[in-house]
Structure 1
Amino acid sequence: MPFQLTREERRIVVKIVTVYSLFGGLWIYLSDSVLGWLVRDPDIITRIATYKGLLFIAVTAALLYFLIGRYLIERKNLEKHIRLVEFAMARISDAFYLIDADGTFLDVNDAACRMRGYRREEFLAKRVSDIDPDFPPEAWAPHWDELKRSGSLTFEAVHSCKNGQAIDVEVTANYFRYMDTEYNCAVVRDISERKAAERELKQSEKELRSLMDLMPVGIAWSNNKGNIEYANHNFVEKFGYTLADVPTVEEWFLKAYPDASYREKLTSVWFASISEFHASGTEVPSFDVKVTCRDGSVRDMIINTLISHNRTLVIFTDVTERETLREELIKKQKLESIGLLAGGIAHDFNNILTAILGNISYAGLLIDKDHKAASLLLQAEKGAKRAAELAHQLLTFARGGEPITSSVAVARIIEDSLELVLHGSNVRSRVEIEDGVQNIKADSGQISQVFNNLIINAVQAMPDGGIISIRVSNFRIGQINNPYAVPVGAYVRIILDDEGRGIPSENLKNIFDPYFTTKSGGSGLGLASVQSIISKHGGHISVSSSIGSGTTFEILLPTSTEPAGEEVPSAGTALSGMAVEFGAGASLLVMDDEEMIREMASAMLEELGYRVTSCASGEEAVELYKVNYEAGTPFSAAIMDLTIPGGMGGRDAARAILDFDPGAQLIVSSGYSNDPIMSDYRHYGFAAVVVKPYGVAEIANVLSSLISSGKSAE
């Protein structure tokens, strides 16, 4: 093989020859010219020429020594540097590839051989496409062009080893030219452990996200730029917002807290707590917030904030139900307080009202209907009834007892309430009753009170007139998807709509609270008693409203399979000549601890034709009844006060009487109408019930029905 010099070696040889030629030529020309000008003797010229030649040889030898020595020193230094580089390349942990423009390996270091498992000569017999499947021969040219344009590329790849194993690597490729030849000097680092750790981290993160999606709290985290990177399933389900809706913390605050003043107050406190954490490591406290969801609803939340690795994680714990229960507990405590008050005054207050109302209705029997006092008595009776209604409303909150229920046609009650309340008003009604609507099991008086209150409220909400729409239908609640807090079963559903101004959202949640009212002169007991009555009937009531769109009440009441009972005439009918079957000498026993009630009842019943015997205690009643029974002149009926302070009441007295006269017609009477005995009087042996306060109509109808039929009356 002919001897070949490298380009650098040729450059050095040319440099030496050029210097030598210039120096030799100048020496010969200049020395001969000077010598010919100074010396004329040929012998001397010959001798000088000899010395000049020797000097030339010495000088050129010295020059050659200098030039060649310099070249050798540079070469030695270069070789030393090359050996140093080779030594270093052999010992670095990263692989080193020297690759030509065709993708052929020109040189590799020991680390490359160890990493791939090839011997050096095996490695140098391969191309890049042999170890990197991402660079087949057809892909190498575009890659090389890109490398030439950029000068350097860093990328991740998967390289194959001699044993078939694939390893993850990070490649830094560097393009350069040397002596008109293009090269790629690539440094390759084994990142298998890092990639394995990344895969494990991604798997852990995936499992963590799956776990967080199962958690019953909302979780979201953001980076230090304020971008929300993750929100779990509960967050999206609870609030309705996806990451597309709230991509940033700023956007979240704008949508979740639309009230500007509330948002400003919350953000200032929250961001101040985060700044305090960064400054001193103080834990960010939890906050109670109200979050506005995408559908407009508001949920009570406790937010806890955790900060780590430039990320802020927020946990949202939904306490809406807890807050609702807390509010319900407060409301229940209020109702219990009212109940204690009502229970405490009910007996005495209704006894007083019984004397007042009874005497007024009795007085109405004694005078002609055209008498001047008749209208005054009528007004007095109305006032006494209003007082009785207020007492009855208070009693709906009292603890214990159930309504005095029977099978009732709800349509009849609604029609009566509409006729009573809408009379003389500019409000019209539209009633839709589904065919075959079942009766309800209810206390007709209390349910009348419910519809009276609701219709009165609707009329007051429409001062300029309007329409009250009432829809009545059968409704069944199944086991699945039951949004109502009532048992599964059959109900009658009543929906009442008005066209009023609507109820502000801040008032809507309080309208069933006792004493809450926005009306001048209102007692705040109307809707509270409505809710209490519906609840005690095992039903459900809810309300929806918005400003300008009116108000809708939805009521569910349990159905009854029994036919509806007959309507009981009102007390006012007696004052206008109501036809009643008078006593015709039938004997009655009246037992009441209040003397004024005994006197009123005795006088009223005697006016109706009954013979009346009265007493103040259960013990006396049992004794009187027994004496008359054994004498063969038993009482036709006995009216017995349920509660006698410090003595035998109606319950124990009835038990004693029924022991010797199982057919006794006993009527229980009480001002404490929510006592269990009043709602289930037959179970305790009573044939009928009359609630205090009562007047002529109530007591006359009960007695007439009971005595004339000889059996129990409703």
Structure 2
Amino acid sequence: MGQVDHTARLPVSLSRIGLLACLVLILCRGTANGAGSGKTEPASGTGGLPTMLVDSEGETAAEEPPKAPTPPPACAQQALGIVIGIALLLLVVVGLQAKGLRRKLAAANRHLREHEARFSQVIANAHAPMVMIGPKGEVLRVNPCYLETFGYTKEETPGIEQWIERALPDDEARRNAAARWKESISPSLGVGQEVDLQIWKVVCKDGAQRDVNLRYVALGNGGLLTLTDVTEHRRAREERHQLQAQIAVSKRMEELGQMTGAVAHDLNNVLSGVVNFPELLLMTPDLSDELRSGLETIEESGRKAAVMVGDLLVITKGGGAAREVMALNAMTEEVLRSPDWDSVKRQHPDLKQNTELAPDLLNVVVARGQVRSVLLNLFAAGAEAAALRKASAPEITIRTANRYVDQPIKGRETIPIGEYAVLSVTDSGPELSADDLARLFDALYAKKTLGRGTRGLGLKLVWMVVKDHYGYVNATSAPTGTTVDLFFPTTRETAEPEQARLALADCRGNGEKVLVVDDEGTQREVACTMLAKLGYRAQAVSSGEAAVDYVSAQSVDLLLLDMVMPGLNGRETYEKVLTVRPGQRAVLASGFGESEEVRKTQSLGAGGFLKKPYSLLDLGSAIKTELQKAIPANG
């Protein structure tokens, strides 16, 4: 029902008053004209004669006739006419103003209706949920976005109290929300005043939970409530904070890795004396049993320390090592023939070792040194686990097989569809509980609680290296023992044939001259002693610059070149040496693992790489192999 516009009658009433005023003015003017003519009529009943009066003495006297009323002056009549005219003029002016006011008011009403229509259209098309709230908290209108986001209709939540009851997840949240609403929203709010109700956790009609920021704008009789869904924004912010934290941790880990790598490099130089001098002394004939036993203990301890340092380098260097096509079976057999595995077997003399290697096993692309450490750690962990069962002799079985996974395997991790070369190690140790199995690759837990993987970084290294090679690890346990499976992605490429390993007797030299280039004095002394033991003439310098000067003055048959030195590093030294002695033979060595600098130097013509501390056999084999190569024609 529309409002009554009383101003519409105002001009009509004023017009009527103006007409009435005109009539009164005309009458007044007529009366005034009659009085001013100067003519008088005789008094009624006397015929105009004077009236005779008798006094108390009997005398008679003539009575004066009554006087006619004095007409108003002409100026008074004119003033009255002016006043009435002015009043009439004012009434006409007021009538005209009221008519203009009526037109303006109609235009204002029309504009208000247009604005209301635009406002309703904006709310309806808004991309944020909006609710019109009445003065008593009743829900007057909800927009489509609100319905789409939360699912509640106006009928389902007729008021803010009902909305709080339905949309908030628990009693405590409802109490807090109701108190916040009552405290913040009041009729005293001025038009346009905003209230930020902060973020509420809202339950939608379908049960989904959303983080919603509520803002209320007072509009006089009620207000507009905007509910902005900030769920994704908060999730993105949390993910950004987590990513920033991960980046910070990654930077700290990178710094720690660099520091650990530097320490490991220095430790390898120190360990050269601990490992190599006992090895040389053990070659002395007629050693007493007591002395021989002590030297063997020193050598074995040094090798264990070297293994742990090597594991640290594997982890800190990660995927930086060069990768090549390798035969997993050949790597397995190499590890089982190594002195390191012999050391493990000496600790478990009753260990029974079974191998079942698939003859048609596909090749893999791996970093040779890293995967060799993985195999050695895994085999050693299996031996340690098998030894925990005291009722029977310890036993491990090492298997390899090709396996095509046609359905994802659910285990410790999901192994996707693909073709893999699988290496498995099964021990005869006690069965592991589900909790122990889940923590099997936690280095500290495996060592301290399970007694497995106590060598080096153990099973933690296995896990990290396999993952770095895009492989997968699975572990199962039964009353008969535990099996660890390593899944390596395969390749159809052909592996380079393995070079036959020389015996120590075949590694002896014939007096060839070898220049040792190393900034560490201990390492120079160890290398020269080993070379002399192998039958070579050894000289040593302490820097790359000194090496360039030396070969400029006299020739040498081979350089034993350290890769990490102050000043000129190994690659830079070899580049300068080649300008003086083209085709110069060289064997590279470093306390770090094989790096990009090593590969670049080898691409220039250098030979094999030795990781410190190296054994007498490793040194002799590398030098003999390099000396047997033909010198280039331009050398």
Normalized against structure 1, the TM-score is what?
Answer: 0.49
- Once the two structures are superposed, residues 428-450 of structure 1 have per-residue CA deviations (whole angstroms, 9 ceiling, x without a partner) of 55544334213334444432321
Paired residue type of 1:342? T
Give the match for residue 505 of structure 2: 579
* Corresponding residue for residue 484 of structure 2: 552
2:575 matched to which residue of 1? 655
For 1:157-203, what per-residue CA distance to the aligned partner results, in whole angstroms no more than 9, with x for missing partners?
xxxxxxxxxxxxxxxxxxxxxxxxxxxxxxxxxxxxxxxxxxxxxxx
Structure 1: give runs of 5+ residues left out of the alignment: 1-203, 213-222, 224-270, 285-303, 629-633
Change beyond 3 A, Cα 1:392–1:663? same
The residue type paired with residue 669 of structure 1 is A
List aligned pairs for 1:105-254, cutoff 5 A.
none
Q: CA deviation at 1:666?
A: 1.2
Q: Classify the secondary structure of the residue corresponding to 2:593.
A: coil
Task: Give 5+ residue unaligned stretches, structure 2.
Answer: 1-143, 157-166, 181-199, 212-230
Structure 2 partner of 1:274 = 170
1:632-666 CA-to-partner distances (Å, cap 9, x unmatched) read: xx211101111113x21211100111223331111
Map of 2:184 onto structure 1: none
State the alpha-carbon separation in 2 of the partners of residues 673 and 551 from structure 1: 30
SS at match of 2:448: coil
Distance 2:425 2:244 in 1: 29
1:439 is the counterpart of 2:363: yes
Structure 1 pair 396–529 and aligned structure 2 pair: CA distance change class (3 A): same
Aligned residue for 2:131?
none
Match for residue 564 of structure 2? 643
2:584 to 664, 678, 684: 664
The answer for the alignment partner of 2:541 in structure 1 is 615
**Mapped contact 2:269–2:591 kept (Cα < 8 A):** yes
Which amino acid in 2 is paired with 1:275? D
Listed one character per residue, the Cα deviations across residues 406-462 of structure 1 (whole Å, up to 9, x for unaligned) are: 554322433465684567466655544334213334444432321222233333334
Q: Where does 1:314-713 land on structure 2 (aligned, <5 Å)?
A: 314=209, 336=254, 339-368=257-286, 372-399=290-317, 402-403=320-321, 405=323, 407-415=325-333, 417=335, 420=341, 421=344, 424=348, 428=352, 431-462=355-386, 463-464=388-389, 465=392, 468-474=396-402, 491-498=420-427, 500-506=429-435, 508=437, 510-513=439-442, 515-519=444-448, 522=454, 525-536=457-468, 538-545=469-476, 550-559=482-491, 560-566=493-499, 568=501, 578-628=504-554, 634-645=555-566, 647-678=567-598, 681-710=601-630
Mapped to 2, the partners of 1:400 and 1:471 lie a distance apart of 26
How far does residue 306 in structure 1 lie from its aligned partner after superposition?
Answer: 3.5
In the TM superposition, residue 276 of structure 1 has moved relative to its aligned partner by: 1.9
Shift of 1:545: 3.7
Quick one: which amino acid aligns to residue 531 of structure 2?
A: L
Give 1:306's aligned residue: 202
User: Contact (CA 8 Å) 1:641, 1:650: kept in 2 or not?
Assistant: yes
The amino acid across from 2:385 in the alignment is A
> CA separation of 1:680/1:649 partners in 2, compared to 1, >3 Å: closer, same or farther?
closer
Give secondary structure in 2 for the equivalent of 1:583: coil
Does the CA-based 8 Å contact 1:637-1:667 persist in structure 2? yes
Alpha-carbon spacing, 1:283–1:451, altered in 2? closer, same or farther (3 Å) = farther
Instruction: Give the superposition deviation at 1:596.
Output: 1.9
Mean alpha-carbon deviation: is it higher for 344-353 or for 406-415?
406-415
Residue 349 of structure 1 deviates from its aligned partner by: 0.9
**Contact 1:615–1:621 (CA under 8 A) maintained in structure 2:** yes
Distance change >3 Å, CA 360–CA 347, structure 1 → 2: same
Q: CA, structure 1 residues 686+401, in 2 after alignment: closer, same or farther (shift >3 Å)?
A: farther
1:546 deviation in Å?
5.9
Flag the 1:282–1:637 CA change in 2: closer, same or farther, 3 A: farther
SS in 2 for 1:638: strand
Determine helix, strand or coil for the equivalent of 2:553: helix
Instruction: Using the TM superposition, name which of 593-602 and 382-391 deviates more.
Output: 593-602
Letter of the 1:635 partner, please give it: V
Alignment check: 8 A CA contact 2:276 2:616 kept? yes
> How many Å separate the matches in 2 of 1:436 and 1:283?
75
SS at match of 2:422: strand
Contact 2:364 2:490 in 1 (8 A): yes
User: 1:362 is matched by which residue type in structure 2?
Assistant: L
Tell whether the 8 Å contact from 1:335 to 1:397 is kept in structure 2 after alignment.
no
- Quote the Cα distance in structure 2 between the aligned partners of 1:328 and 1:430: 44
State the one-letter code of the partner of 2:268.
N
Distance 1:283 1:583 in 2: 93
1:597 is displaced (CA, Å) by 1.6
In the alignment, residue 496 of structure 2 is paired with which amino acid?
A: P
Q: Which amino acid aligns with 1:389?
A: V
User: How far off its partner does 1:558 sit?
Assistant: 4.6
Task: Please state how far the C-alpha of 1:673 moved relative to its aligned partner.
Answer: 1.3
| CA deviation vs aligned residue, 1:581-634 (integer Å, no higher than 9, x gap) | 322111111111111221222222123221122100000101111211xxxxx2
8 Å contact kept, 1:367–1:374: no
C-alpha distance in 1 between matches for 2:591 and 2:176: 68
What RMSD over aligned residues (CA atoms) do the two structures have, in Å? 4.7
CA contact (8 A) 1:351 1:693 kept: yes
Task: Tell me the CA shift for residue 385 of structure 1.
Answer: 0.5
**Alpha-carbon distance change, 492 to 395 in structure 1, aligned in 2, over 3 angstroms:** same
How has the CA–CA distance of structure 1 residues 519 and 669 changed in structure 2, closer, same or farther, with 3 Å as cutoff? same
- 2:505 match: secondary structure: coil
Residue aligned with 1:365, SS: coil
What secondary structure does 2:582 align onto?
coil
Flag the 1:584–1:494 CA change in 2: closer, same or farther, 3 A.
same
DSSP-derived class of the 1:584 partner: coil
Instruction: For 2:470 and 2:287, locate their aligned partners in 1 and report how far apart those are by CA, in whole Å.
Output: 43
- What TM-score do the two structures reach when normalised by structure 2? 0.55
Distance 2:335 2:571 in 1: 35
| AA at the equivalent of 2:562 | D
The answer to whether the 8 A contact 1:336-1:397 is kept is: no
